[in-house]
Structure 1
């Protein structure tokens, strides 16, 4: 009878990596279970392949629409977009290939995650990548599955050149390679894309040859309901198909790769987490691990737009819109070097209105604030409560305030426009998201709004202040620190970099959920491999660091397997890989 050595829950940035690397050993039987649709070679939806990500990001097809988060203690919950499709976040994100800084990983190692310092992780950053621009650099790989490229300054459109001018005039130096030069500066942003098409982990790792392996079983449109536990031992999972049928997968080891919001929720539903909270919901606590769901981090961020005159706009046919970014230092007391990140896009949305607006993202690197994930029900179908608590630490709001002031100076020196009112805050609200859904109605409405913006300047500024800023002017905020901080509290949100909720650490650390290979403390046959493990959020988007982590732990898993391991296929608890359950 068949059995699985590994059942991987979640076909995202980590899950696809593990499925490919573990199934490369023919004697290992591997199952990969993804709740969303599959995207096999030759059948990847064009909206996923598109270099411009917002149309797929703003729809409901490839995300968990019921998953929400509160940005701060006082804010209302809103949808927190997490990938529900093969490739996970790598299939819907902006394709950023930012590694972060050596200090990020050295801090992991210094704080209990031994073996995760910069020199330890660099080989795996190199292993995953095929750097198109710097294939021979000592810090880069040239044979990995993920192509990484940049749009160099010679090919930047006028908007990017104007932004670069503003940065230079404010003393920010140009860098060639954000993943090899680690100080402050602006640079062509690295992204996982080739021939102007996205390369998700599903595309990079689950290629045709991998999918032909007889020991790899890929299952899409199956949502894992629960981990099957016998005492402290994980025996497999039960998954729910869209037709209502339940399927049990038995396994030697269950590997959770469901992301920093879903993985801790699955552990808690299995009775692994804070004992008092689980018991209050009627869940028997099997392993009391108070750190499950704690230590949640995201980069607190703000968005801004600038009206673009016709000569600054980029044709809609040119899909890649985000081409450059910068690392900056706030200089505040209690801050650190390169504690701000600033990225730009030549287009705020896919439509004619968005093409008239340049976009800026500002966020805090290495945030101090911490949130949490909690269960609200024993029903595994109920989404968890997510509190990002983005501004709980006053240092984060102080850094954002500094960042807003710095950005205003950069824009003022850029030559993007003569009137300061053409630069304005623009929250990624539910209304903006609704307007960003692809459809004929939105195309017509945004075309009309775009033409109105091209009208007389007083009309444009009246429309901006009525429909975008609700009367707020950036100049007024900059003149009043209290008003600026109130604005930040009202508009801050995460950039979908949830991490840290099953953090790895030393055995002596009571808040650590796993060891440094992702094995859950006190459990057998149960592992977490995704951004949940990060002790502290790096100075980067999380996709490439998550792929690196999966590569590193895949190596650790294979290295620890004994060469003469006995075949357990005949054991009763591994018979029948698929068992129908009621």
Structure 2
């Protein structure tokens, strides 16, 4: 019997397990379906290029066929390892805009406005630039400037300024708008995942138990109260009881799946799947949304500073391995998406509605395909999509991946913004700082010039930038799943704590906000314990 059982050792689960176990009087067990985070591909930042090519650390999910993507299935990578997606992502530290959290509060979620959440961003953060009114300097999560920025990334920033955008040295400062280099979750040239930040330093606590290779099958219910979990490990099914709370931190795709497998969700769907309905909660799995994205790739044989498959490229990587091993410096400290920006698709927008990620190499099919030669890539995504989809069960078994339908471009406004976004991205990439390098845009995008052609390019090649949220939405309404303390409506002893609770997606990368959510809820739990 444990006091708290945490399901999922990702960004939120790592935070909760570490924070709750600070009290030696309580016992905490963390269950993670993946393995320990020992692979050098995790700790060496540039190792993420190889993580995308194999499934050992990645659930590698797919969406159902998307009408908005001309019937294609989208790719949904999610970390399957301690640290979750923070162990396999591009390490960008971004919080979004203060207005994102003011929106959350305005939807009836007291305590989630910008002034409420900022202290938890600061509490989590150890920024190498030091603490100030907006940043933390002593938290577990190390946030750093890139040690050795790639010259191509610096050229992108120059091009953005040449296109009329402000040079922003801190996207988490007073203003998000502009172009610049991203800060990253690195510490001394290594990835600083949530597991490495929060769990690694405290694994020796006697009241903290971390079990890997343990896939939770369902939450055990006694009436309307969660009393434990059932999980599979090594071919054996086991049960673990708790006397305080079950904390569900499996992410926006698997948290709603586990709720439904436990009999909590839309009653008609559960009955269709042969699951006894413990609590008819129709909002479970609804409101799924993500940042739709498309990538322009530029071939540049002479761009030898970029990552690329060539004799020169292999030589550079070999030298980089030696330098990273000995100094934790050099090209392998790259997160690939080194630069980017937050810009407006048209002047009348009240705030940036687009995000750019500039990659110092040719990125095709999420890095799963090996592409010869050198060059660069640039993503553009819309920050506040209007389209909403859902998560549903494919089978009455947690080992069967869920049906994921983000409904990309179901709303016409999303496509209109994306088309404008491609134009704005091209304006930057055509500036002398980059155009002078002599690259050639790959044909599949280069041939798209009119708005109609760009729309078809997006439908044929667009996908996601890996930020699913919203499927267990926080709020007081009939289609909301959790309240402002992230307790599941109508159920005792059960909270959902991860990106699935976001009422609306934040205007940027979702890892730092997910860590903030867990920091805040850890304090809420301590107050009510």
What's the offset of the Cα at 1:68? 4.3
Pair 1:176–1:515, CA change in 2 (3 A): same
- TM-score, length-normalised on structure 1? 0.82
SS in 1 for 2:255: helix
Contact 2:289/2:468 (<8 A) preserved? yes
Aligned twin of 1:428? none
What's the offset of the Cα at 1:71? 4.6
Counterpart CA distance in 1 for 2:247 and 2:62 is 22
Counterpart CA distance in 2 for 1:7 and 1:354 is 47
Contact 1:150/1:323 (<8 A) preserved? no
SS in 1 for 2:500: helix
Pair 1:205–1:72, CA change in 2 (3 A): farther
1:502 aligns with 2:472: yes
Counterpart CA distance in 2 for 1:386 and 1:106 is 28
What's the offset of the Cα at 1:273? 0.9
1:192 aligns with 2:180: no
**Correspondences of 1:83-232 after superposition (within 5 Å):** 83-133=79-129, 135-151=130-146, 156-208=149-201, 210-232=202-224
- Mean alpha-carbon deviation: is it higher for 103-112 or for 61-70? 61-70
Aligned twin of 1:235? 227
Instruction: Please list the CA deviations of residues 488-518 of structure 1 after superposition, one character each: whole Å capped at 9, or x if unmatched.
Output: 1222211111111001112xx1111001111
Instruction: Please list the CA deviations of residues 127-165 of structure 1 after superposition, one character each: whole Å capped at 9, or x if unmatched.
Output: 0010002x132111011001101238xx64331232223
Aligned twin of 1:456? none
Instruction: Please list the CA deviations of residues 246-280 of structure 1 after superposition, one character each: whole Å capped at 9, or x if unmatched.
Output: 11100121111000000001111111111111122
Counterpart CA distance in 1 for 2:241 and 2:303 is 60
Contact 2:156/2:339 (<8 A) preserved? no
Choose from 517, 534, 540 the match for 2:508: 540
Counterpart CA distance in 2 for 1:414 and 1:191 is 27
Contact 1:497/1:541 (<8 A) preserved? yes
Pair 1:303–1:213, CA change in 2 (3 A): same
Choose from 532, 549, 553 the match for 2:517: 549
Tell me the matched-pair count: 499
Instruction: Please list the CA deviations of residues 279-301 of structure 1 after superposition, one character each: whole Å capped at 9, or x if unmatched.
Output: 22222222111110011011000
Choose from 55, 67, 70 the match for 2:50: 55
Structure 2 unmatched ranges of 5 or more: 307-315, 321-330
SS in 2 for 1:295: strand
Aligned twin of 2:300? 308
**Correspondences of 1:182-581 after superposition (within 5 Å):** 182-208=175-201, 210-242=202-234, 244-252=235-243, 253-310=245-302, 313-314=305-306, 315-316=316-317, 317=320, 318-319=331-332, 320=334, 321-331=336-346, 336-348=350-362, 353=371, 356-417=374-435, 422-424=440-442, 465=443, 469=444, 473-474=445-446, 476-478=447-449, 480-506=450-476, 509-561=477-529
Counterpart CA distance in 2 for 1:390 and 1:87 is 28
What's the offset of the Cα at 1:181? 3.0
Structure 1 unmatched ranges of 5 or more: 425-464, 562-582
Counterpart CA distance in 2 for 1:311 and 1:497 is 30
SS in 1 for 2:422: helix
- Mean alpha-carbon deviation: is it higher for 408-417 or for 102-111? 408-417
Pair 1:183–1:48, CA change in 2 (3 A): closer
SS in 2 for 1:477: coil
What's the offset of the Cα at 1:17? 0.4
What's the offset of the Cα at 1:201? 1.0
Instruction: Please list the CA deviations of residues 360-418 of structure 1 after superposition, one character each: whole Å capped at 9, or x if unmatched.
Output: 11110121111110112223322211011121111111111011111112111134346
Pair 1:406–1:240, CA change in 2 (3 A): same
Contact 1:313/1:355 (<8 A) preserved? no
Aligned twin of 1:45? 39
Contact 2:216/2:398 (<8 A) preserved? no
Counterpart CA distance in 1 for 2:420 and 2:81 is 38
What's the offset of the Cα at 1:309? 4.5
Contact 1:340/1:363 (<8 A) preserved? yes
Counterpart CA distance in 2 for 1:357 and 1:395 is 32
Contact 1:6/1:29 (<8 A) preserved? yes
Instruction: Please list the CA deviations of residues 185-223 of structure 1 after superposition, one character each: whole Å capped at 9, or x if unmatched.
Output: 112201100222101111111124x11111111100011
Aligned twin of 1:64? 59
Contact 1:256/1:529 (<8 A) preserved? yes
What's the offset of the Cα at 1:70? 4.2
CA RMSD of aligned residues (A): 2.0
Aligned twin of 2:327? none
Counterpart CA distance in 2 for 1:184 and 1:169 is 15
What's the offset of the Cα at 1:312? 5.5
Counterpart CA distance in 2 for 1:49 and 1:404 is 33
What's the offset of the Cα at 1:235? 1.1
Choose from 34, 48, 51 the match for 1:36: 34
Contact 1:32/1:218 (<8 A) preserved? yes
Q: Considering only CA atoms, is the larger Rg found in Structure 1 or Structure 2?
A: 1
